[in-house]
C-alpha cells in the first residue's frame, strides 16, 4: 500500500511537470524489471530539484527516507551481532543490504523535504550546506562498499574494522546533520 501511495504521488509529480512521457518511459522500464515503485521514487527525486514538491509528495519521500535509514540501522545492528557471533554469512547479508542502500542515500534529500515541511530528524543544514552533505554521502557510500568488500572475505578482524569505520562515518554525519533524540 505504501509503495502504491508513493508511486501515485510520484506519478502525480511527473504529470504536473509536463514530463509524463519521460515518466511513463521510466515506469515502463521499471515494470519490466519489477521495480516500479523504486524507479518511480528515484525519478521523482531527480525531477524534484527542478520543480517544488507538493506537501503530500514531500511527506511520502520523507517517510521513505526514514524507512530506508531504519533498514540501514537494522542491518548495522545485525552486522554487529553477526560479528560478535563469528557468523560470516550474517555479516555478508547485512553488509550487502547496507551497500545496496548507501549509494541511494544522497537522493533521499530533495529540496522541499526538510524540517519546514514535516517531522524529520534531518537538520536544515543538509540543504544549507549541500557540498558538505554530498561529501558525507560519498563517505557513506565508500565506507559501505569497503565493509561489503571486507565481508566477502573470511577475516572477521577486517570485517570488524570496516564495520567500525562505517559506524564512525555514520556518526560523523549524524553529528552534523541529524537532530538528537
Q: Which residues contact 9 (CB under 8 A, 6 or more apart)?
A: 44, 54, 56, 57, 60
> What count of Cα atoms within 13 Å lies in the side-chain half-sphere of residue 37?
9
> Within its chain, how far is the Cα of 123 from the centroid?
16
Query: What is the tens place of the pLDDT at every residue in 89-112?
Result: 999 999 999 999 999 999 999 999
Please list, in sequence order, all residues whose beta carbon lies within 8 angstroms of the beta carbon of residue 7, skipping any fewer than 6 positions away: 36, 37, 40, 41
What does pLDDT average to over the chain? 80
The more confident residue out of 138 and 4 is 138
pLDDT computed for residue 181 by the predictor: 60
Residues 6+ apart with CB under 8 A from 72: 97, 98, 101, 102, 105, 170
Condensed to tens digits (0 to 9), the pLDDT of residues 42-76 reads 443 444 444 668 999 999 999 999 999 999 999 99
What pTM value is reported for the model? 0.71
pLDDT at 30 over 70: no
Which is more confidently placed, 50 or 173? Answer: 173
For the chain, what are the domain ranges? 1-51, 57-177
Task: Assign domain 57-177 one CATH number from 1.20.120.10, 3.90.1150.10, 3.30.70.1050, 1.20.120.1200.
Answer: 1.20.120.10
Q: Which of 41, 31, 32, 29 is nearest to 3 (CA)?
A: 41
Cβ-Cβ contacts under 8 Å for 99 (sequence gap 6 or more): 144, 145, 147, 148
Three cell numbers, residue 152: 566477502
What ranges make up the beta strands (E) of the chain?
none
Amino acid at each position: 500500500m505504501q509503495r502504491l501511495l508513493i508511486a501515485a504521488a510520484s506519478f502525480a509529480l511527473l504529470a504536473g511537470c509536463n514530463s509524463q512521457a519521460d515518466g511513463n518511459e521510466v515506469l515502463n522500464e521499471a515494470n519490466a524489471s519489477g521495480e516500479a515503485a523504486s524507479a518511480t521514487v528515484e525519478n521523482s527525486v531527480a525531477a524534484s530539484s527542478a520543480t517544488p514538491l507538493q506537501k503530500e509528495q514531500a511527506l511520502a519521500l520523507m517517510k521513505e527516507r526514514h524507512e530506508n535509514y531504519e533498514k540501514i540501522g537494522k542491518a548495522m545492528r545485525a552486522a554487529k551481532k553477526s560479528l560478535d557471533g563469528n557468523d560470516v554469512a550474517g555479516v555478508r547479508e547485512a553488509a550487502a543490504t547496507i551497500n545496496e542502500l548507501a549509494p541511494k542515500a544522497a537522493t533521499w534529500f530533495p529540496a522541499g523535504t526538510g524540517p519546514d515541511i514535516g517531522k524529520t530528524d534531518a537538520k536544515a543544514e543538509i540543504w544549507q550546506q549541500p557540498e558538505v552533505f554530498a561529501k558525507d554521502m560519498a563517505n557513506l557510500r565508500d565506507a559501505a562498499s569497503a565493509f561489503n568488500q571486507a565481508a566477502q572475505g573470511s577475516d572477521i578482524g577486517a570485517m570488524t574494522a570496516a564495520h567500525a569505520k562505517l559506524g564512525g562515518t555514520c556518526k560523523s554525519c549524524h553529528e552534523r546533520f541529524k537532530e538528537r533524540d
